[in-house]
Structure 1
Amino acid sequence: MNVSSDELCGNNSSLDVGTLGSYIGYFTTDYLEIAIYIVCLVVGGPLNLYAFANAINSLVNHKTARFNRLLILRINLNIADLLTMFVYTLTQIVWMSTFQWYGGDILCRLCKFFYTFSFYLNSFIVVSIALDRLYTTYHLSEFKAASALSNVRIMIIVAWTAAIILSLPQVFIFRLFVVEDPHFEQCAPIWTIYHYYVQQKTLYNISISDEIIAYGDSVAVWEWLYNWLHLLTIFWIPALIIVLSYIGILSRLQKNISGHAMKQGSIRALRQNQHASDTNIRRGPPLCSNPDDHGLPITAYANGGTALTRPVVYRPSNTGDGANGNRGSIHSTNEAEQKLTRSVSCDQLPPILPVDRMSMVHRLAERLSGVPWQQANYRYYGQLAASTMSRAKRKTMQKAAMILIAYFTFWTPYNLLTLVNMVSPQSEKELTTVTLAFLNSLIVVNAIVNPLIYGVFERRNN
């Protein structure tokens, strides 16, 4: 059933003086709301233009910038903020200053579409940034830039598509409503027009047709469904995703730090073992004492430096005479030490070739750290990795706190007001609207904070 505003009120409908007086009662909060919009436009307009121009300049003049995921997300967030500033904020200032809508029906529908679209896109891009950081945190050891960039592009497409689809109902819900006596034009949703019609009919004790009553029932159902869908998709579900994403990021960083503490001890022991064996090999053969120093039979053995290397000892040959005899031979034994039967000079030992034990060391280190040996400097790994992870966690906590505080501070009043209006009795809705309507303007302040959080602050961290 389709009932137009003309059928509800007619072009010659009169506006009750009491209703007009209630409109005048809004002026105090309206002035405050207009002032907030003006300040936001003066400050946020140039700031967002600068941030957008700077991001585009980086994208055009730097070849690697097109692969910067955060830069691509920032540009899309800038677009949403620019729409908020120069479409929503600017038209709100003009609209609230005149208190009537003089743009006609088509402009009424288009403006309402872009109002909602900018808010949806803003919220969805912030969610995309959180999800991108979550993905990066969980794939540090196997991170692939191409895959991450592809994920970001998919999220951006989904964000734009969802914002367009969820904003389309505005085109059908809002329309130009005209009252002739006195002349008054307003861009209003269909349920507001219906409620006004019922109020006027009740005020003048005019009966309402069954068709209008049935239309009102269907309008009430669609109003309830749309408001809940709008409320959940524009704020509460994105807010939940953002909170869970940053909790997951911090949890993963903490897990990496804790896991690294155990790996660090193992790698430190591994390095000590490697250092000891390297020292033995650098000293090289002969690995013995000068018998003249002690006058005792010497214990001569050589160790390759790993648990897998068997001790090597010198055992003199049974053949040959004293001066010109054979120098002896190298034998391996399972015993830790082997005493020689006679004193021997160190220079009598033949060269001992170092055992190739580094492949085992490399494999063990790779397994402990998860990083290929060629890509890691284990001399500094234990010293720097823990502090780097702790510093990353601290910066992430600071950034997460800023994002969550800004998001909830500027978005909660608007959405909480909507929630209160939805669950409040009809008699209390007017009081809620009068006292808290100006808080809707706080959502525009978020468009000022976004370039600071994701632009200036981000570049300083980088």
Structure 2
Amino acid sequence: LELICFSSLNAHRRAYLRCRRLLVIGWAAAFALSLPQVAIFRVFKPYSEKDFRQCTPLWTTFLYEKIEQLKDVNLTEAERTEIQRSVSDMQQLEKMYNINHLLFVFWIPCIIIVISYLTVLLILQGHLKEEYHSLPLMSAVEQLEEEPSKCKSKRNCPLADSQTVKSALSPRSTNPGAIVVSTIHKAKQHAKRQATWIILAYLTFWSPYNVLAVLNMTRTLSDHQVFAVTLSFLNAAICANPIANPLIYGVLKDGSKP
């Protein structure tokens, strides 16, 4: 028993250090990946006669300036063609940015979340099999005690109420191996519920924004105004996801207690 406790303490310490390393790596990667935004977004003043400023991506500013240039009636055909070519190139750059944006804010994180929880479940399943096979073979009487749900009624399991049988049974709850198996099984069930709710919450809050963003990017959405009007609401839904996650963890943690 002391060996099990010592091993458990070491496992907790390793898990704590691993979580700290992953947090540092995650924050460092997020900071590095967000650095290009400094060059992409800038404060733009579209109207010289009005004190109005707005934070916009560089291609929006670029396209606005080029459209203003195209309004000049003194432009030659060659200059007009050059402006249109530069506008087309900038639109391609915008599309590449949007694709990468959707990949890094939705698809890649979603894949990482799914793979992470599947890995946890596979690891728990592996430990569960190892611990289960290390247990001594159960007698028929012990199986009767461990699986009372298989009996539909007391008449079908007359031995279950027999005082003789109960006195002959050795309590498996005091067996360290059985305790480990029970603990791993509970952890596996808890991880399944947690993974299901976390993934469902992520898809619920993020999917509407990404679906409309893809439709808008591919010009499938005929009315661009639909995306513009709903953008604030969709961004608010995205911001609600980090608020929902701790609530899910808390509810599942409380619900997992006996």
Give the percent of matched residue pairs that are identical in Structure 1 and Structure 2: 34
**2:21 aligned residue:** 154
Instruction: Please name the residue that 2:182 is paired with.
Output: 387
Matched residue of 1:180: which SS?
coil
Partner of 2:209: 414
Residues 420 and 397 of structure 1: is their aligned pair in 2 closer, same or farther, counting only changes over 3 Å?
Answer: same
CA contact (8 A) 1:414 1:439 kept: yes
**Counterpart-to-counterpart distance in 2, 1:383 and 1:147:** 24
Conserved? CA contact 1:402–1:453, under 8 Å: yes
**1:241, distance to aligned residue in structure 2 (A):** 1.2
Q: Equivalent of 1:188, from 24, 36, 56?
A: 56
Matched, 1:440 2:235: yes
- The CA RMSD over aligned residues, in Å, is 3.6
Task: Name 1:428's counterpart in structure 2.
Answer: 222
Query: Could you tell me which amino acid in structure 2 is paired with residue 196 of structure 1?
Result: Y
Aligned partner of 1:239 in structure 2 is: 110
Structure 2 residue 95 is matched with structure 1 residue 228: no
In the alignment, is the contact (CA less than 8 A) between 1:177 and 1:185 conserved in 2? yes
Any conservation in 2 of the 1:177–1:188 contact (CA below 8 Å)? yes
Return the letter of the residue paired with 2:36: P
Give the 3 Å change call, closer, same or farther, for CA 429–199 of structure 1 in structure 2.
Answer: farther
> CA offset at residue 410 of structure 1?
1.1
2:244 counterpart of 1:452: no
Greater helix share, 1 or 2?
A: 2
1:348-370 Cα distance to aligned partner (Å, 9 max, x none): xxxxxxxxxxxxxxxxxxxxxxx
Q: Does the CA contact (< 8 Å) of 2:194 and 2:249 recur in 1?
A: no
More relative contact order in 1 or in 2 (CA 8 Å, sep 6+)? 1
CA displacement, residues 401-444 of structure 1 (integer Å, 9 cap, x when unaligned): 1211111111222233322222225x836144146423222101
Match of 1:254 in 2: 125
2:50 is the alignment partner of 1:179: no
Contact (CA 8 Å) 2:202, 2:241: kept in 1 or not?
yes
Please report how far the alpha carbon of residue 236 of structure 1 lies from its aligned counterpart in structure 2 after TM superposition: 1.0
- Matched with 1:170 is 37
DSSP 3-state at the match of 2:45: strand
Q: Which residue of 1 aligns with 2:90?
A: 219
- Give a deviation string over 1:74-110, Cα, whole Å, max 9, x none: xxxxxxxxxxxxxxxxxxxxxxxxxxxxxxxxxxxxx
Cross-structure match for 2:158: none
- Cα shift readout 1:14-56 (whole Å, capped 9, x = no counterpart): xxxxxxxxxxxxxxxxxxxxxxxxxxxxxxxxxxxxxxxxxxx
* Correspondence 1:49-60 to 2 at 5 A: none
Distance 1:179 1:245 in 2: 46
Match of 2:161 in 1: none
Q: Give structure 1 stretches of 5+ with no counterpart.
A: 1-139, 273-376
Task: Flag the 1:378–1:187 CA change in 2: closer, same or farther, 3 A.
Answer: closer
Q: Distance in 2 between matches of 1:198 and 1:263?
A: 73
Q: Cα deviations across residues 245-279 of structure 1 (Å, max 9, x unaligned)?
A: 2122223333444454443344x57xx9xxxxxxx
Give the AA of the match of 1:236: W
Distance 2:190 2:89 in 1: 51
Listed as ranges, the matches of 1:40-51 within 5 Å are none
Equivalent position of 2:160 in the other structure: none
Q: Distance in 2 between matches of 1:147 and 1:257?
A: 20
* CA–CA separation in structure 1 for the residues paired with 2:12 and 2:122: 23
* Structure 1 equivalent of residue 135 of structure 2: 264
Q: CA deviation at 1:379?
A: 4.9
Distance 1:230 1:159 in 2: 17
Amino acid at match of 1:170: Q
Query: What's the secondary structure of 1:224's corresponding residue?
Result: helix
Rounded to whole Å, the distance in 2 between the matches of 1:429 and 1:196 is 20
Paired residues of 2:205 and 2:241 also in contact (CA < 8 A): yes
Gaps of 5+ in 2: 1-6, 143-171
CA distance, structure 1, for counterparts of residue 173 and residue 182 of structure 2: 15
Q: 1:319-358 alignment to 2 at 5 Å?
A: none
Q: What secondary structure is seen at the aligned counterpart in 2 of 1:179?
A: coil
**Deviates further, 144-153 or 244-253:** 144-153
The separation in 1 between residues aligned to 2:31 and 2:227, in whole angstroms, is: 28
1:303-326 deviations in whole A, cap 9, x for unaligned? xxxxxxxxxxxxxxxxxxxxxxxx
**Distance (whole Å) between structure 2 residues aligned to residue 414 and residue 429 of structure 1:** 15
